[in-house]
A and B are shown apart, each in its own frame.
Chain A
Amino acid sequence: EAGVAQSPRYKIIEKRQSVAFWCNPISGHATLYWYQQILGQGPKLLIQFQNNGVVDDSQLPKDRFSAERLKGVDSTLKIQPAKLEDSAVYLCASSLVEYGELFFGEGSRLTVL
């Protein structure tokens, strides 16, 4: 069974530029999560989807971050414009049932210069 796929693995941009990350969850997993993990910290939930609907986006900085899951399968997370403090690993996870076992992708490491 294929795992959670994320791309790109690494991205370096200048501040005020934009970036987009893509995630394809495990087939059949209705719940998809985007987390931000800053070095030395635990994951912080940015947004949670159930199929193509948003369940929780309370910690998403909506002035610069956006995410979509249009067909209830893959998802895109966008940052525009990026700030230095956005440097982090962006992890995508999926689960078969809400708050069941989370399966994570390898993450996308963003460096903002």
Chain B
Amino acid sequence: TQLLEQSPQFLSIQEGENLTVYCNSSSVFSSLQWYRQEPGEGPVLLVTVVTGGEVKKLKRLTFQFGDARKDSSLHITAAQPGDTGLYLCAALPDSNYQLIWGAGTKLIIKP
């Protein structure tokens, strides 16, 4: 069974702090996506990474795909209350084309 483990499950920090959340697996992926889901809404795509070692930046968010394409991280600089939400990673394994999802990291940024 292929699993995507996200950590931490829950994170509550003050506005202005930095944070990193992780998405890990023992499987190799052809691509990995990060989504943010706000309460009462569906997930919204933030980024897709496809190349081992790839780094993508989206304003204060930095996404990295592991060299071996088994893991990914999301770093937020100077977090703001608007960053609050559930961060989900979803990945496409090399071995079969069935998108798998992590359980998410629930992030709360306190003003």
Chain A residues engaging chain B, CB cutoff 8 angstroms: 4, 40-45, 56, 91, 93, 98-99, 101-107
Give Cα A22–Cα B97 distance, bound, in whole angstroms: 26
Compute the total of residue contacts between A and B using a CB distance below 8 Å: 49
Contact residues of B between 13 and 27, Cβ < 8 Å to A: none
Q: What is the 8 Å Cβ interface bit string for chain B, positions 24-42, against chain A (1 contact, 0 not)? A: 0000000101010000111
Give the distance to chain B from A25, nearest Cβ to Cβ, in Å. Answer: 12
Residues of B with C-beta under 8 A to A40: 103-104, 106
Residues of A with C-beta under 8 A to B48: 101
Q: How large is the interface on B (under 10, 10 to 19, 20 to 34, 35 or more residues)?
A: 20 to 34
Say whether, besides A40-B103, A42-B104, A4 and B42 are in contact (CB < 8 Å): yes
Give the distance to chain B from A90, nearest Cβ to Cβ, in Å. Answer: 11
Residues of A with C-beta under 8 A to B42: 4, 91, 93, 104-107
16 pairs from A and B in contact (CB 8 Å cutoff) = A4-B42, A41-B103, A42-B4, A42-B88, A42-B103, A42-B104, A43-B43, A45-B99, A91-B43, A93-B42, A99-B97, A102-B90, A103-B45, A104-B41, A106-B40, A107-B42
